Each structure stands twice: as structure tokens, then as C-alpha cells.
Structure 1
Amino acid sequence: MRVIVIGGTGHIGTYLVPRLVKAGHSVVCISRQQANPYINHEAWKSVEHVTIDRLRSEENGDFGAQIASLNGDIIIDLICFTPQSAQGLVEALRDSVQHFLHCGTMWVHGYSEQVPTTENQKRNPFGSYGINKAKIEAYLLSFHQKCGFPATILHPGHITGPGWLPVNPAGNLNPQIFVRLAKGEEIILPNLGMETVHHVHADDVAQAFVRAIENKQSSIGESFHIVSEQALTLRGYAEEMSRMFGQEPKLKFLPWEEWQKEVSKRDKELTWDHIAHSPCGSISKAKNLLNYQPRYSSLQAVQEAVEHYFEKEGIKNNR
């Protein structure tokens, strides 16, 4: 198959493109050519690269036509964030593509009422990112039902891996949390540390896209959670990372109203977004219909990413 990957040089694409090449597909990578894959792989030598600035092309009204002109059998869209962007592309591809795969997010659920959350539960999205992604999913599934458009939606959790710092045990992206844990220093967590985060290694996300293509009849017209086997509580996450560094956990807990005063505005905003969502997704559907089998637990994915960051920054790791 001829596979077009939109946004193919990012973290998911770093692992997805080589997997597609290995599976025997002819791959076209669409990007702005402003970044290189996070990890070098021989497979990239056989990949066709096409430079398109999506935002500018969409402003000109010709993005969908440009993608359609590449004559892909399969389109994988990793960087679609608004319903308007999705509709413009899908309308251009409706009569030509054999399989269209969209990268969504666990944020489409908003807060959870029952956990682990399944794909068919009531949605409570909040925030522009989650709301827009939920609208995209609804549009794609509706278009499939009305016109038979061959859409599949995959919803990753907190993506991580070498080159991409994970959401930390405080629910934000400040790397100093990991540095303090490595030194055996105290960290302060909001509330009781019982909110959850649900990571997934970028290679497992890539695996899921390939599985969805291989199981086309089971995946079209469906959405799937793509996360690790289990979510982590912030407290459990911090404790396990401390032990990974050969330290005993030193944790302090403060009510949200007090905790937010101790951190930067950016850390506060990110932490609130993560703990307000507290994702915990079921992967039963993906396992049953796609044969999705994540190689990494949440901790394994995080540990690999943190070790890579420490090595790159020259930070001592006691592990």
C-alpha cells in the first residue's frame, strides 16, 4: 500500500514510519521539513518526503487537494486539531482513500465517571483541545455511517519515549521533579496524590496504527484507546521513580489551593489540566479487535524517556 503520513517526523512518526516500511508499505512523509525524526533508522532512506506547511496550505484552501494528489491508499493524520481541518481533508479524500486513520486523544473523555474508561462511555470533554478532538471523532464516525468513509480513530494517552519528556508525578512537564527524585529530595504533590496519569510509549502508539491497518475490517468505523496496561496515581508514580533512582520516596502533600502557590503559572496550568482529566483508559477493545499488545508499561515508558533525558543533559542517575 501507498501510505501518506501527515506529520511523520514527530514523535509518533519516528517509530511509525519505520514500522510501515518494515511491513512492506511505500511511505510518503508530509512535514514542514523543520525537524528530524527523534531516532535515526535505516528505513527513512526509502521514504518519500513532501514538504507542506499545513496551516498555510489550509489558509490557501488547497491542503486537501495536495494530499489527494499524492494518490495514497492509506492516509494517517497525526496533526489534525480542529473539526474544520478534518472536514477539509476528508472532503477531498472521500472518493479515493481506502483507509483514513486519525490520531485523537484520551482528552475526548474529559473527566471520567467510571474507570477504566471504555470508548463508548458518556463524554464530558472540556478545554479546547479535548472538545475539538471529540468533535473530530464525532464527525469522522458520522461521515463513516452516512457515506461509508473508511475512518479509524486512535486515542493515545500521555505519549512519551526517548526525546519526549513525560508528564511527571506532579502532573506537569517540569524536568526538575525527576532531578529532585534522583537526588532523594522531597517533592510536593497536590491533594493526596491519588489522581491518575496514563502514559504510552510512542512506539506502542505506532504499533497500534500498524495493527489498525492490518485489521482494517475490524478497525474502520471505530475508535480505540491506545495507552499502557495500567494508569499510575501521582503518588505511586513518584514512589516508583524514587526507587528507580535508588532513593526512598520523600513526598509531601498539600491541598490544591496551597500547592498551586508553590509552583510557576505554567506548571500550575498543566497540573490542573492533567489532574482534572485523570485519565485511566481501558485497552480491551484495542486488544480484542486490533491485537494491540503494548510492550511498555507506564513506568517502563517513562523510565526510558527520563534516562535518555538525563544522559543528554549529563545528569547523574543512581540507577
Structure 2
Amino acid sequence: MKVVVIGGTGHIGTYLVPRLVQAGHDVICVSRQRGNPYTAHESWKQVKHVDIDRQKSERNGDFGTQIASLGGDIVIDLICFTPQSAQKLAEVLKGRVQHFLHCGTMWVHGHSEQVPTSENQRRNPFGLYGINKAKIETYLHAIYQENGFPITILHPGHITGPGWLPVNPVGNLNPEIFVRLSKGEEITLPNLGMETVHHVHADDVAQAFVKAIENHQNSIGESFHVVSEQALTLRGYAEEMARWFGKEPKLRFLPWEKWQKNVTQRDQELTWDHIAHSPCGSIAKAKQLLNYTPNYSSLQAVQESIEHYFEKEGIPVNRL
């Protein structure tokens, strides 16, 4: 089939586009500019690239018609963040595509009530990103129920892999935490370090999109979590990473009110966002209906990312 991937040179697209080509699809990669994927792959030579600035095109009111004109049997939208954007695209694509796949987020759940969280649990989204993604999901399910628009929604956790930093053991993106762990230095965790983060390797997210296409009948009209087998507590995450570096973990803990005073505003905001959500998602549904099996644990995904980062930055690591 002809597959249009919107935002195809980013985190997920780096792995998704080659998987689609290898599965025999004709792939059109839509991006704002002709950027390079995070990792090279021979399959990119077979991909057609179309440059569209989504924000500019949406302001002009012709983004949907531009996507529709590409004639895709399948459209995968990896970069939709507002209900208005989702609605404008879906309205144009009604009756024109066999499958429309949207990239959501575990953030649609908001605060966890029962864990691991299943797809059908009550939603408590907070924060603009999570609220908007939840609204998009509600809208897409509604048009599926109303007129059979063939949607599938995949909700990744904290995406990571070579080329971008993972959420670290204190819940933000400061790479210094990993450097300190590699040196056997002490790090300070908020509260008791029992909040959770749930990573997923970008290639496992790509795998899930391909499996959703392959299992078309099972995936239409459904939402699925796409994460690793198990979430990590901040404490367990820090301890395992220290040991991976060949060091004994040295951890101390501070109540949130004190912890937040010792970090930058940006680190504080990111940490609060992550520990307030504390995602821990079930993948039982994706396993059953899509045959999704993640190839990476959370730690393996993080470790591959950090190994790449340390090598790129020339940071020495003496691992046991």
C-alpha cells in the first residue's frame, strides 16, 4: 500500500519508515524540511520526500488537501497536537483512506489510579499536552463511531533511543544525572523515589505502528499503549544505572518542597510533570490484538541512548 507518514524524520519515523519499506509499502515522508533521520538506513533511498510546513499550511487552510493529494491508502500522523489540527485533517481524509493512525501519549490518562493502567480506565488528564491529546482521542473515536472513519491510536510512553536523551532517574532531561551516576557520585531524588517512569524504544513504537497496519481488523477503532514490559521507579532506575556503570548507587532523598529548590526552573517543571503523571501502562491489549512484543526493556532502551550520548560527547565510561 501507499503509506503517508506525517513527521517521518523524527524519533519514531527514523525507525518506522524503514520498517514500512521493508514490509513492502510505498512510503511518502512528509516533513517541514528535508532533515536527516537519527540513524541511516538503506531503505530511505526508496522513500519519496514531500516538504510541507504543517503550521504554515494549516494557517493557509490547505494542509488536509495537500495530504489527501498524495493519495495514501494509509496515513500515519506522528505530529498532531491539537483537536483543531486533528479535525481539519480527518474531515478531508474521510472516505479517502483505508487506515488513519494517530500517535497519542500515555499522558492522556493523567494521574494513575490503578496500575498498570489499561486503555479503558477513567481519564484524568492535566496539563495542556495531555488534555489536548485526550480531546483528539475522544474526537477520533467519535468519528469512527459515527461514520466508520478507520482510526487507530497508539499511546507511547517516554520515547528514547540513540540521538535523544531519555527521561532520567530524577524525572527530567538533564544528562548530568547520568554523568554523576557513571562517576559513582551521589544524586538526590525527590520524595522517596517511588514515582514511576515508563520508557519505550522508538523502534518498539515503530514496530507497534506496523503491527497495527498488519492487524488491520483488530486495530481499527481501538487505542493501544506502546511501552516496555515494565515501568521503573525512580529509585530502581537510578540504582540499576549506577550498577550498569560499574558503581555502587549513592542516593539521598528530599521532600519535593526542598528538592525543587536545588534545581533549575526547567528541571523542576519537567520533574514535576513526570512524577505527577507517574505512568505505568499495561500492554496486554497490544500483545493480544496486535502481537506487539517490545524488543527493549526500559533499561535497555535508556542504556542504548546513553551509550550513544556518552560516545558522541566524548565522556569516558569504565563499565564493569
Shared fold per TM-score greater than 0.5: yes
What is the CA distance between 1:36 and its match in structure 2?
A: 1.0
The 2-side partners of 1:318 and 1:280 are apart by 32
Which residue is equivalent to 2:284? 284
- Measure, in 2, the Cα distance between the counterparts of 1:203 and 1:8: 13
By how many angstroms is 1:317 displaced? Answer: 1.2
Aligned residue number for residue 156 of structure 1 = 156
Paired amino acid for 1:299:
L
- Give, as a single letter, the amino acid of the residue that structure 1 aligns with 2:305: A
- Show the counterpart of 1:174: 174
CA deviations on 1:109-156 (whole Å, 9 max, x unpaired) are 000100000000000000000000000000000100000000000000
Secondary structure of 1:316 counterpart: coil
Across the aligned residues of Structure 1 and Structure 2, the Cα RMSD in angstroms comes to 0.4
User: Residues 5-57 of structure 1, C-alpha deviation per residue, up to 9 Å, x if partnerless?
Assistant: 00000010000000000000000000012531000000000000000000000
| Aligned residue in 2 for 1:99 | 99
Distance in 1 (alpha carbons) for counterparts of 2:34 and 2:194: 39
Corresponding position of 1:84 = 84
- 1:28-67 to 2 correspondences below 5 Å: 28-33=28-33, 35-67=35-67
Distance 1:315 1:250 in 2: 20
**Match for 1:211: what amino acid?**
K
Percent identity reads 80
Separation in 2, partners of 1:167, 1:74: 32
Query: Unaligned 5+ residue runs, structure 1?
Result: none
Aligned in 2, Cα 1:34/1:28: closer, same or farther, shift over 3 Å? closer
**3-state DSSP class of the match of 2:249?**
coil
How far apart, CA to CA, are the structure 2 residues paired with 1:291 and 1:316? 39
For 2:112 and 2:68, locate their aligned partners in 1 and report how far apart those are by CA, in whole Å.
38
> Which residue of the partner structure matches residue 256 of structure 1?
256
Partner of 2:294: 294
Gaps of 5+ in 2: none
Indicate the residue corresponding to 1:9 in structure 2: 9
Q: Corresponding residue for 1:183?
A: 183
What letter is aligned with 2:162? P
Counterpart secondary structure, 1:318: coil
Partners of 2:31 and 2:281 in 1: how far apart? 30
Please report the TM-score for the alignment, with normalisation by the length of structure 1. 1.00
Q: Within 1, Cα distance between the matches of 2:253 and 2:36? A: 40
Q: Which amino acid aligns with 2:281?
A: G
Alignment size in residue pairs: 319
Counterpart Cα distance in 1 of 2:287 and 2:113: 23
1:197 partner amino acid: V
Q: How does 1:219-230 map to 2 (within 5 A)?
A: 219-230=219-230
- Secondary structure (helix, strand or coil) at the match of 1:136 reads helix
Structure 1: how far apart are the matches of 2:225 and 2:129?
17
- Contact conserved, 2:154 with 2:226, CA < 8 A, in 1? yes
CA deviation vs aligned residue, 1:52-95 (integer Å, no higher than 9, x gap): 00000000000000000000000000000000000000000001
C-alpha distance in 2 between matches for 1:147 and 1:128: 28
Distance 2:99 2:318 in 1: 47
Q: What is the alpha-carbon distance in structure 1 between the residues aligned to residue 147 and residue 33 of structure 2?
A: 34
Q: Give TM-score scaled by structure 2 length.
A: 0.99
Give per-residue Cα distances to partners, 1:262-289, cap 9 Å, x unaligned: 1000000000000000000000000000
CA distance in 1, matches of 2:269, 2:33: 31
2:52 counterpart letter in structure 1: I
Q: CA deviation at 1:318?
A: 1.6
Q: Aligned letter for 1:210?
A: V
Partner SS, residue 189 of structure 2: strand
4+ long deviations beyond 2 Å = none
Partner of 1:196 in structure 2?
196
**Aligned residue in 2 for 1:235:** 235
Residues in 2 aligned to 1:96 and 1:168: alpha-carbon distance in whole angstroms: 42
Indicate whether 1:140 and 2:114 are aligned.
no
Aligned to 1:75: 75
**Separation of aligned partners in 1, 2:316 and 2:142:** 52
Distance in 2 (alpha carbons) for counterparts of 1:181 and 1:125: 33
